[in-house]
């Protein structure tokens, strides 16, 4: 059975994953409008994965005797300066998500809720990989600079890149 504190923290995380899904959906739509079809495909998949992260939490909360609350959604940013701006925003967002997840893990230890602590380890690993992937993409974009040919290849390569390591999880 979840304590009220843990239940509230997990519901907070539900809202964060939902917001992530919306944020990446907006990025995908922007990229699609720019003709960056590979980047758009990557971001659409990434948005779907965030929804899976949210669902995994919802199911866990309910299975443990809590009540998972479906949150309201805020309008995410819809305008971006460039593809680099997209991935920098994505990394910034994921860094915040990591901090939130660490907060939940910390609370689990304080509350001695080892079951939820164990469940949250999947999210801890996921964050390491998501941040690493975002950094790799930013490094590539920095190398490419203003080279249109390089950008074309970057976009084409993203077409087949999984949106994140959680693609097959949950």
Least separation, in Å, of the C-beta of 98 and ligand FEO?
A: 8
Six-digit token pair at 120?
């949250």
Residues 123-162, mask of contacts with ligand FEO (x by CB under 6 A): -------x--------------------------------
State how far the Cα of 104 lies from the Cα of 57, in Å rounded to an integer: 12
Structure tokens at 28: 């995908």
Name the nearest CA neighbour of 104 among 14, 43, 34: 14
Size of the site for ligand FEO (CB under 6 A): 7
Q: How far is the CB of 89 from ligand FEO (least distance, A)?
A: 13
Please compute, for residue 114, the number of CA atoms within 13 A of its CA located in the half-sphere on the CB side. Answer: 0
CB of 58 to ligand FEO, least distance (A): 13
Interface positions with ligand FEO (CB under 6 A)? 17, 20, 50, 53, 94, 97, 130
């Amino acid at each position: 059975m979840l304590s009220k504190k843990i239940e509230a923290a997990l519901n907070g995380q539900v809202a964060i994953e939902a917001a992530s899904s919306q944020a990446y959906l907006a990025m995908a739509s922007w990229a699609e409008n720019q003709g960056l079809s590979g980047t758009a495909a990557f971001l659409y998949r990434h948005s779907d994965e965030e929804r899976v992260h949210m669902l995994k939490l919802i199911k866990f909360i309910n299975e443990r005797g809590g009540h998972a609350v479906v949150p309201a959604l805020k309008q995410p940013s819809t305008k971006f300066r460039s593809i680099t701006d997209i991935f920098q925003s994505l990394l910034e967002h994921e860094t915040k998500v990591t901090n939130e997840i660490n907060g939940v893990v910390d609370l689990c230890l304080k509350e001695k809720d080892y079951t939820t602590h164990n469940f949250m380890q999947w999210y801890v690993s996921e964050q390491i990989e998501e941040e690493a992937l975002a950094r790799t993409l930013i490094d590539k974009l920095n190398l490419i600079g203003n080279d249109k040919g390089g950008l074309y290849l970057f976009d084409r390569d993203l077409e087949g890149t999984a949106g994140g390591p959680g693609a097959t999880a949950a």
